[in-house]
Amino acid sequence: MMSVASKKESPRKKDLEGGKKAGSSKESLVVQTLRGMRDILPDEQPYWERVRRLLSSACQEFAFHRIDTPIAEYAHLFTRSIGTGTDIIDKEIYLFETRGGDRAALRPELTASLARAYIEHGMQVLPKPIKLFSTGPVYRYDRPQEGRYREHWQANFDIFGEEDSILDAQIFQIASRILSQLGLKDIEFQVNSIGTPEGRKEYRKILVRYLESQKHKLCQNCKDRLVKNPLRVLDCKEDKCFQVTVNAPKSAEYLDPESKAHFKSLLEYLDELAIPYVVNPRLVRGLDYYTKTVFEIYSVGTLGEGKKASLGGGGRYDGLIKSLGGENTPAIGFGLGMDRLVLEMIRLGGKPYRELRPKVFLAQLGDLAKRKSLRVFSELQKNDVLVAESFGRGNLKSQLRSANKANAEVTLIIGQKEALDGTVILKDMVTGAQETVRQDKLVCALKKILKSNAQSHHPVKS
């Protein structure tokens, strides 16, 4: 008994900590994000802010209207639009049942929700084309990796009600504009046309016939795909599948005349816009609703040799609205992965968005001054002076330290004496000089100093 106890106690500290640990380790399970999900911390926010601002200005430049839709929808919205047999639906979608028994899903992308909203709110009566911009988190139960999260942010630009290929070109233009403004120089657009569903049926038959004849050479995955979604075999990166598909009939050659003309004119528009593109006849994309134009966007050369960072993609989906019960409405759109934009931007040394930092620090000393300083603070705010403080601290020294760390140009000091006199000390943090002014003259005096600072020794700190 004793020995057991002493044995347990022998690593005293450990046992104590063990106990503490048990408690805190239980907590540590709680204090952890879900797999594949993450916090976007303050340090990273300036980069996100830059991206958000660029997106929102593109939204204005191209006359898009912002729309926000819920992150959860009825599950069948996605199964019907994206299609069963796709990876997104078959293995990546977050499904759950509500307390009321509805089958719901976290959105794995934005387009389906936009189409739903378009129909639900009768947007077909609006003047065409209808341009919608949306951004928000989407969810895919995938294996996490850098630049790939189970919760990630997408930004979507979608145009409804116009089938002319010039709208396709405009979509490319938007993407290109955003990316170049972000400083991502080496962008590659891969384009393909997969035609209409009717035309594709034909092609699909021909492709399946070909693939069946080569079936023994395909990977297991592709053997399954051959039945479920044969077009995606074209996309397979397995070498042996590539050997087969390189000689496979190409979708572009089986396009109906209209799709062919549409594709041709799109490429002409892209030339006109001087947007560099690569026609990739194997490009199919993993969502069923696409028709005609499909494309993907890559940033070249920041990863190793021959590696490209995928930033987004999209395409035309002329049949989607109708298939969901709306009027026959052609549409095209694309999504950008914001997490990847940020990542790529940081990799390329892009500049973050900088918030204005306060140049004034307010320090107080003593109970009376503490109370007064609250008033001074709001007085300054009303006069558009950004001011930092650390009200929680008592002594002047540590407040001045904070002021220094905050790179303040001027520190205002209110002590017992000043609080009684109704004055404030202005201390120039560069020269160290101070002057005392009456509180009602403070704003004026302060602005004068800041102004002269800005003119003379304006590179205050590097």
Partner RNA sequence: GCGGGUAUCGUCUAUCGGUUAAGACAUCGGUUUGUGGUACCGAGAAGCUGGGUUCGAUUCCCAGUACUCGCCCCA
- Rg of the chain taking only CA atoms, in angstroms: 30
Quick one: residue 292, left, alpha or beta (phi over 0 = left, psi -120 to 50 = alpha)?
A: left
Distance, in Å, from the CA atom of 124 to the CA atom of 322, rounded to the nearest integer, reads 12
Smallest separation, CB 261 to RNA (Å) = 26
**Token digits for 365?**
């000393």
State which of positions 186-225 bind RNA (CB under 7 A).
Answer: 221
Residue 202: how many CB atoms within 10 A of its CB? 14
Distance, in Å, from the CA atom of 48 to the CA atom of 33, rounded to the nearest integer, reads 20
Residue window 11-40: x/- pattern of binding to RNA, with contact defined by CB under 7 A? x-xx--x---xx--x--x---xx-xx-x--
C-beta of 431 vs 456, nearer to RNA:
431
- Candidates 365, 332, 351; CA nearest to 183 is 351
Residue 196: how many CB atoms within 10 A of its CB? 18
C-beta of 22 vs 444, nearer to RNA:
22
Q: According to the binding rule CB under 7 A, does residue 243 interact with RNA?
A: no
C-beta of 1 vs 125, nearer to RNA:
1
C-beta of 141 vs 256, nearer to RNA:
141
C-beta of 128 vs 148, nearer to RNA:
148
Region of 52-60, 335-343, 348-356, 370-378 interacting with RNA (CB under 7 A): 335-343
Out of 107, 116, 200, 285, the residue judged to bind RNA by CB under 7 A: 285
Out of 238, 275, 279, 280, the residue judged to bind RNA by CB under 7 A: 238
State which of positions 415-434 bind RNA (CB under 7 A).
Answer: 415-418, 425, 427, 429-432, 434
C-beta of 31 vs 63, nearer to RNA:
31
Q: According to the binding rule CB under 7 A, does residue 286 interact with RNA?
A: yes
Residue window 90-119: x/- pattern of binding to RNA, with contact defined by CB under 7 A? -xx----------------x----------
Q: According to the binding rule CB under 7 A, does residue 413 interact with RNA?
A: yes
Q: Evaluate whether 78 touches 43 at the Cβ level (below 8 Å).
A: no
Out of 80, 131, 140, 316, the residue judged to bind RNA by CB under 7 A: 140
Distance, in Å, from the CA atom of 4 to the CA atom of 428, rounded to the nearest integer, reads 68
- Beta partners for 95? 105
C-beta of 346 vs 430, nearer to RNA:
430
Q: According to the binding rule CB under 7 A, does residue 230 interact with RNA?
A: no
Smallest separation, CB 141 to RNA (Å) = 7
Smallest separation, CB 421 to RNA (Å) = 9
Number of residues that bind RNA (CB under 7 A): 79
Out of 39, 43, 146, 305, the residue judged to bind RNA by CB under 7 A: 146
C-beta of 262 vs 427, nearer to RNA:
427
State which of positions 349-368 bind RNA (CB under 7 A).
Answer: 365
C-alpha pair distances (Å), 165 with each of 197, 203, 253, 303, 326? 18, 22, 19, 33, 22
Region of 69-77, 118-126, 272-280, 333-341 interacting with RNA (CB under 7 A): 333-341
C-beta of 146 vs 384, nearer to RNA:
146
**Token digits for 115?**
């189409």
